[in-house]
Each structure stands twice: as structure tokens, then as C-alpha cells.
Chain A
Amino acid sequence: MVNLINSKNKFKKVPGILFGLLAVVCIFSITTPYFFTLNNFINILEQASILVIASFAMTLTILLGKIDMSIGSIMSLTGVVTGLMIHNGMPVWISVFLGVVAGALLGMFNGYLISYQGFDFWIVTFSSMGIIQSLALVITNGATVPGFGNDFRFLGDGSLFGLPVIVLIASGITILLVFLTLRTTFGSNVYSVGGSEQISKYAGINTEAIVFKTYILSGILAGIAGIVLASKVNSASPIAGSGYEFDAIAATLIGGTPFEGGRGGIVGTLIGALIIAILMNGLNLYGFTPPIQFTLIGFIIVLIIIIDVLNEKYKAKKWGK
């Protein structure tokens, strides 16, 4: 029952925001000569990939009606950990694997405190955000971990079949997560916990386990994002991920997953992250200075969401009739 209602909502939000994406693309295509080229589109996809992965980490927790403020810090720490392991002579694939494991452990830390200890998710992830950030600074002593070999750089900088590897990774993760959230019991349980934790519990769902697992998944995704970022910029800075959490929240909300949880989903977030990446790309191509870019991004994001909200209200009215 719960699932039926949700699965309708899951798709409902997507088209509205898709219009926003198309509108932004159209406008930049008309007004900027360099925008509407295959190269620039690949460029945008490449630039959006890391935000897309990080935003998925955020979206999963927001679908639960919760949040993960520590995503940016987890990105920094996993990047740094992986980087240091490679520099200490570990094989690349083991370092990457252990980096992802580190992400999972950090997610587990959050998840355990939130689900089994019953602590407030804001407070927990906010605290761990500070703790993890400090760890990254302490183990590197504040310095950036320098460049790596070509095998590691392949992840973030290489290309395969004419497409950047980073885009392929993001696409793969997108497909996996769409499948996971829309086609598995785990996914529908995430939606129902987000809809109402209480009702889900009565319906026999082990809500603690769902929350715990989702935070681990979120940690893994943030870990992957951090490693790919380190690979892309060929160095791991202890503050590389800071600020990502807010962009990831914005991408999720623009994509139509509200803070209350239980609605929206991965596809919307993908579109939301693309909108942010396209805005930044387009405004750079124009050559606007940061002050103007700041103001415009704020206006445009709010405008897109206002239109989306009004559109929803209108639809709701029509349903009412």
C-alpha cells in the first residue's frame, strides 16, 4: 500500500524539473557560441560527475527524511587516505578499495549513532563533519598529498570508448542506484521509512537496519566521490571536499526530493546536479565575475524551484477538481 502511493510520487516530480534543465540548456545554447558543442557537453558531464555521486549520497539520506552533513568531510578524508596509501607503496586497486572501505566505516559510524543509539541525525552528522575534517587535516599535517601514477589517474582523468571514465563511473552508479531504489525491497523500504518511520515499523520493516545500511551506502558513495576527485585533480587536499555537502543538498532539493523524505529520487537529483554544473559552466563561458555569478545562481535556483512548486500546486488543484 505504502509502496503504491510512493511509486507514483517517485516519477511525478521528474518532468517539472526536466523543463528547468531544458530551459537552461536552450538559453545558454542560444546566447553562448561555445556552449552547444559535443565537446562542451562532455566537459559538463565530466564536471558534473563528482557532484552527481556526492549528491546521490545526500539524496539517499534525505529520502529517509534525514541528512548527512559529513559527506564533504568524508570525501576529503577518503581522498587523503587513498592518496597516502598509494604513496606508501600500496597497489592502487587495494588503496582504492580501502578508501571506499574507509567511507563505509565513516558511514557506519553515522548510521550506528543515528539508528541504534537514536541520536538526532543533524547533530550526529554535523559533529562527524567536524571530526572527520580534523582527521584529514591531522593525518596530512594540512598539506596536499601530491601527484599519483597513471594507473590511479585513469579513474578521474582517463577515457574509455571516447568518453571520460569519470562519466562512465557516474553513469554506472546512477543506473545501479535507480535500480536499487525503484526495483528492490530495500529501495521501497527506504521510501517507506522516509514516508513515515512509525508506520514502516508497524508494517514490520526493520527501520533501524534500513537507516544503518543507507548511511553505510551514503558513506561508500561519498568515499567514491572523494577518491575520484583526488584522481581527477591528481592530488588529495585535506579540504578538497569541504562545501560539497551544501551543493549536494541543493542538487537534491532542486531535483525534487524534499527534506521530509519519502518522495523524489535519484533521477531528479541527477537533473539537479546537472543544472548546477550547467549554470556554472555557462556563466564561466560568459565570463561573469564571481559577484555576478553568485547573485545569478541564487536567483536562477530559486526561480526554477518556485516554478516547480507553483506547477505542483497547480497540478494538485487539478487533481482536487
Chain B
Amino acid sequence: MKKSYLLVSLLVMGLLFFTGCGSKSQQANDASKSEKKKVVMILKNLVNPTWQAVKKGGEDAAAKLGVELTVLAPLKADNNEEQIRQVEDSITKKVDAIILVPADTKGIIPAVEKANAAGIPIINVNTKVGGGKTETFVAVENYDAASKVAEALAKKMGEKGKVIILEGKAGAQSAIDLKNGAVDTFKKYPNINVVASQTANWNRAEAMQVTQNLLQAHPDINAIFASNDEMAMGAVEAVNQAGLTGKIMIAGLDANKDAIQAIKEGKMTLTCDKKSYDQGYQGVEAAFKILNNEPVDERIVVETTIVDENNVDQYLQQ
């Protein structure tokens, strides 16, 4: 029996070891800056560079404005239910405001309603919350961004030709929005044909494989529209290996560093800077204003920029 107590105390010690570091810093925060406003930012995931940029923007704004910011994201990327839990946990924690990037427009509503009931303001960023009360919507909406990219790509294609679309994860909100944005835009051009549309799960390796396969069936395509830069880079590799670099245009979204590099090298055609950093920054700024009873617009528009060979150099310098 003694030994089993020993084991339990071992467990307790082990856990204290793992959690101790976190609690110390938190207590320090509580003591010294107790008057700071507590804001939680809940993202779709933290595995994609886009959300890292949103996080960075938020943290910079928080440091400047003197807000205590905690960034959370579901462990299973884009998991709606986990996001709901994180909103619930934040309500428990009595935070002052929640900055929310929902993984699912409709699925997140119950959590928003709970925050409304608890009187915690919700600042909606990037993807629309489908119901409940939100203070403001800071956004580049995926549908609009995809339309803009498709538009720019269509122009570069001379408004004619065959294009394939690489979709995000089947069933995910942003995947559907991005795909619809692209499809609806290409429809406006009678001479542009979407010959195939397949998922590559946001994933570079899968995009490479899918592109290789699609190139077998459609060797004569003119362009590839990828719903993010990760997949665009996979397509870049596949096209490169097929020896078709320069003959097939490749467009992505997010303006990740390696995508910009690829545009500079002429392997990729264009991407869209969704100003992820600004989205995070403005989200925290809006939260700060709301908590200080300053007026905030119902919708804060973040302008997107198309990055192509004309302006790639200024992006490379950043």
C-alpha cells in the first residue's frame, strides 16, 4: 500500500513539474498587471503560417495597447467542437473579450450565444460567425479573396483556357468558401473551363500527388488554382517535375514566404496577401476600443493585395 501512495505522489510531482512553469508566470502576471484587460483569441489552428501571422499581429497589438492576450486553437485542426469548449473555458475564466475566428460559421453559434449571455463581447475575425451577437467583423472573407485571385488569374490567362482547382479539406468551412469563390468567378468567363476540382486537404504533399495525377488526365491545362499556398507549393513541385514550369500558371492564397520566393523565381504566378498580420492586429485593437467604450465600425475591412511578379520584390524585402 505504501508503495502505491509513493506512486501517486510521484504522479503529483510529475504533474506539478509540467504545470509549474505555466502557473508561475501567470501568477506573476496576475499580481503585477492586475488591471490589464484579459482578451482571448481563438484561431482555427496553429499549424498553418496564416494563423501564426494572425497570432503575431494580435500579440504585437496586445503588447502595444497593454492587453493580456491568450491565444488558443483546437488541437485537432479546424475542430468546431474544441473551439466551442475553448469559448466555454474562456467564459469560465471571466475574460473581458473574445476574438473569434470560427472553424465553422454555423457550428460556432451556440458558443457565441453563451458568451452573449455572459456579457462577454465577441470580436469576429476572418470567417463570419453565422448568428448570435458580435461587436464587429474584421475581415478578409475567404470567398472574396478567392474571387480576387481567380479574377487576377483569369486576366493573366487571357480570359481563356483550362484550369484545375485544388480544394481544402472536404467539409471544412473555409474550403467550401474558397472553392465557391473561385468557381463562381471562373463561371463569369465563358472561355475558361474548370476541368477538375479535387481536394488536397490543405496539404503540400497531397497537392503534389493530386496535381501529378491530374496532369496525366489533363496534360493541356493552362492554370492551377490552389486554395492555399501550401497546396500551391505542392503543385509547383509537381509541375516542376513534369518539366512544365512556366507553361502552367499557379495561383495560391496567403502570401507565405516560400510562395513569394517561388513567384520571384517564376515558378508560381500569383498569390493573395490576406493581410493575416493586420487581421490579428486589428482584432485586438477593436477589442481594446470596445473595452474602453470607444465606437467601432460594424465591419472593419482589411484590404487584400495580389502578389505577382510586379510587386514581389517589395514583399521579399519584408
Chain A residues at the B interface, C-beta cutoff of 8 Å: 16, 19-20, 23-24, 26-28, 31-34, 37, 39-40, 43, 46-47, 50, 137, 140, 142-144, 146-147, 153, 157, 229, 232-235, 237-240, 243, 280-282, 284-291, 293-294, 296-297, 299-300, 303-304, 307, 310-311, 314-315
On chain A, the residues within 8 Å of B94 by CB distance are 34
Query: Given A144-B107, A296-B18, A233 and B84 touching (CB < 8 A)?
Result: yes
Shortest distance in angstroms between A149's beta carbon and chain B's nearest beta carbon? 13
Complex contacts, B30 vs chain A, CB 8 Å: 33
Q: Which residue of B lies closest to A50 (CB)?
A: B81
* CA distance in complex: A237, B83 (Å): 14
- The CA-CA distance from A47 to B108 in the complex, in Å, is 15
Q: Is the CB of A137 within 8 A of B88?
A: no
The answer, yes or no, to whether B74 is at the interface (CB within 8 Å) is yes
Q: Does B16 lie at the interface of the complex (its beta carbon under 8 Å from any beta carbon of A)?
A: yes
B86 CB within 8 Å of chain A: yes
What is the bound-complex CA distance between A88 and B111, given in angstroms?
A: 25
Interface membership of chain B positions 50-76, coded 1 if the CB is closer than 8 angstroms to chain A and 0 otherwise: 000000000000000000001111111
Task: List A contacts of B317 (CB < 8 A).
Answer: none
Binding site secondary structure of chain B: helix
Interchain CB contact under 8 A, A233 and B11: no
- A284 in contact with B22 (CB, 8 Å): no
The tally of CB-CB contacts under 8 A between chains A and B is 152
How close is B266's CB to chain A, nearest CB, in angstroms? 35
- The 9 closest A-B CB pairs, nearest first, are A287-B70, A235-B106, A31-B23, A239-B171, A284-B89, A233-B107, A235-B107, A146-B106, A238-B171
Tell whether A285 pairs with B73 under 8 Å between CB atoms, given A234-B109, A235-B104, A296-B18.
Answer: no
Contact between chains at B19 and A31 (CB < 8 Å) = yes
Given A142-B170, A300-B15, the answer on whether A281 and B8 have CB atoms closer than 8 Å is: no
Q: Are A239 and B172 in contact (CB under 8 A)?
A: yes
Contact A19 B11 (CB under 8 A): yes
| Known contacts A47-B85, A147-B131, A240-B80: A290-B171 contact under CB 8 Å | no
- Within the complex, the shortest CB–CB distance from B220 to chain A, in Å, comes to 28
Contact B80 A237 (CB under 8 A): yes
B11 engages A303 (CB within 8 Å): yes
Cross-chain contact B7 with A37 (CB below 8 angstroms): no
| Complex CA–CA separation, A43 to B23 (angstroms) | 21
Instruction: Tell me whether B7 and A233 are in contact (CB under 8 A).
Output: no
Kindly state the separation between the CA atoms of A147 and B113 in the bound complex, as whole angstroms: 13
| A33 CA / B23 CA spacing, docked (Å) | 10
Q: When chains A and B are docked, how far (Å) is the Cα of A123 from the Cα of B299? A: 51
> Contacts A144-B106, A237-B107 given: A281-B89 contact, CB under 8 Å?
yes
Q: Which residues of A contact B86 (CB under 8 A)?
A: 284
| B10 at the binding interface (Cβ < 8 Å) | yes
Across the interface, name the chain A residue whose C-beta is closest to B68.
Answer: A287
Chain A residues whose C-beta falls within 8 Å of the C-beta of B11 in the assembled complex? 19-20, 23, 303-304, 307
Q: Identify which of B7, B15, B109, B110 contacts A310 (C-beta below 8 A).
A: B7
Bound complex: CA A31 to CA B169 (Å): 38
Which one of A146, A281, A289 contacts B46 once the chains associate, using CB atoms below 8 Å? A289
Give the residues in chain B near A146, CB-CB below 8 Å: 106, 130
Q: Quick one: closest B residue to A143, CB to CB?
A: B176
Q: Shortest distance in angstroms between B166's beta carbon and chain A's nearest beta carbon?
A: 15
* Given known A284-B86, A300-B18, A307-B10, contact A34–B92 (CB-CB < 8 A): yes
Q: List 5 A-B contacts (CB under 8 A).
A: A39-B92, A146-B130, A280-B85, A284-B90, A291-B46
Chain A neighbourhood of B175, CB < 8 A: 142
* Chain B residues whose C-beta falls within 8 Å of the C-beta of A290 in the assembled complex: 45-47, 72-75
| 0 or 1 for each of B115-155: is its CB under 8 Å from A? (1 = yes) | 00000000000000011000000000000000000000000
B110 in complex: contacting residue of A24, A232, A294, A300, CB < 8 Å: A232
Q: Chain B contacts of A28 at CB under 8 A? A: 19
Besides A24-B15, A34-B92, A234-B107, 12 other A-B contacts (C-beta < 8 A): A27-B16, A144-B104, A144-B107, A232-B84, A281-B85, A285-B89, A286-B22, A287-B26, A290-B46, A307-B7, A311-B4, A315-B4
B14 neighbours in A (Cβ, 8 Å):
303
- Taking the closest CB of chain A, its distance from the CB of B57, in whole angstroms, is 15
